[in-house]
């Protein structure tokens, strides 16, 4: 009986950790979206230094926050697909910064919002114990 209780406690603890990780992923997406909006404003106002700073911060969020949180072994094809998205976003943001092209930025922003929405839906699913 003690083994079952211990298993339930570990299972419950693992579910809580997983839920908190999902919260962190959604927060990373929120931070990325905020930096992209700020970069868009910098493009519109012609502030080259601010544009570079905000795009650099967005790239850092992608690299350290999103790519860094991927588990390619356990995540399988979904993790690989996300990694491909993240790589494309990074390349597009570098192009956006070089060209001051708001259309590229908006394309990345829409894609980010779509995937953030999916993570938020997953996060809201009931935790099974």
Write out pLDDT tens, residues 75-129.
Answer: 999 999 999 999 999 999 999 999 999 999 999 999 999 999 999 998 888 876 5
Both structure tokens of 17: 């950790």
Q: How large a percentage of the chain has pLDDT more than 90?
A: 74
Comparing 1-10, 54-63, 89-98, 116-125, the range with the smallest average pLDDT is 1-10
Determine the Cα–Cα distance for residues 67 and 106; give it in Å rounded to an integer.
21
Comparing 10-24, 30-44, 51-65, 111-125, the range with the smallest average pLDDT is 10-24
Confidence band of 6 (pLDDT split at 50, 70, 90)? very low
**Which pTM was predicted?**
0.82
CATH of domain 25-121: 1.20.120.340
């Amino acid at each position: 009986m003690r083994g079952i209780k211990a298993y339930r406690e570990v299972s419950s603890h693992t579910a809580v950790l997983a839920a908190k990780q999902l919260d962190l992923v959604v927060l990373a997406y929120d931070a990325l979206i905020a930096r992209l909006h700020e970069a868009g404003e910098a493009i519109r106002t012609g502030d080259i230094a601010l544009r570079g700073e905000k795009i650099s911060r967005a790239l850092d969020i992608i690299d350290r926050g999103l790519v860094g949180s991927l588990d390619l072994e356990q995540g399988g094809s979904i993790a690989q697909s996300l990694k491909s998205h993240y790589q494309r976003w990074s390349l597009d943001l570098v192009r956006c910064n070089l060209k001051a092209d708001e259309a590229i930025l908006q394309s990345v922003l829409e894609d980010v919002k779509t995937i953030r929405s999916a993570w938020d839906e997953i996060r809201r699913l009931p935790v099974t114990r």
